[in-house]
Amino acid sequence: MSAELISGKTIGEEIRQSITQRVDKLKELGVTPGLAVVLVGNDPASHTYVTNKQKTSKKLGMHSELIEFDESISQEELLNTINRLNTDDSIHGILVQLPLPEHIEERAVIAAIDPSKDVDGFHPINAGKLMIGEEGFIPCTPFGIMKMIEKIGFDLKGKHAVVIGRSNIVGKPIGQLLLQQDATVTYCHSKTVDLPTITKQADLLVAAVGRPKMITSEHVKEGAVVIDVGINRDENNKLCGDVDFDDVKEIASAITPVPGGVGPMTITMLMANTLLSAERTLQK
Binding site as annotated, residues for NADP(+): 165-167, 231
Is 43 catalytic? The answer is no
Catalytic choice (120, 228, 242, 244): 120
Q: Write the CB contacts of 280 (distance below 8 Å, at least 6 apart in sequence).
A: 116
CB-CB contact of 87 with 241 (8 Å): no
Alpha-helical runs (H) found in the chain:
8-28, 44-59, 75-86, 106-112, 124-132, 140-151, 171-180, 195-199, 245-248, 262-281
Is 120 catalytic? The answer is yes
Cis peptide upstream of residue 259 (ω within 30 degrees of 0)? yes
Residues contributing to the annotated binding site? 165-167, 231
Is 172 catalytic? The answer is no
Catalytic choice (17, 21, 24, 97): 97
Catalytic choice (53, 117, 172, 221): 53
Task: Give me the torsion for CA of 73, 75, 76, 79, rounded to 10°.
Answer: 100
Q: How far is CA 106 from the centre of its chain?
A: 18
CB-CB contact of 6 with 144 (8 Å): no
d(CA 278, CA 276): 5
List the helix and strand counts (H, then E) for the chain: 10, 11
Distances (CA, A) of 42 to 67, 99, 249: 13, 11, 37
Give the closest residue to 241 by CA, choosing from 2, 8, 1: 8
Active site residues: 53, 97, 120
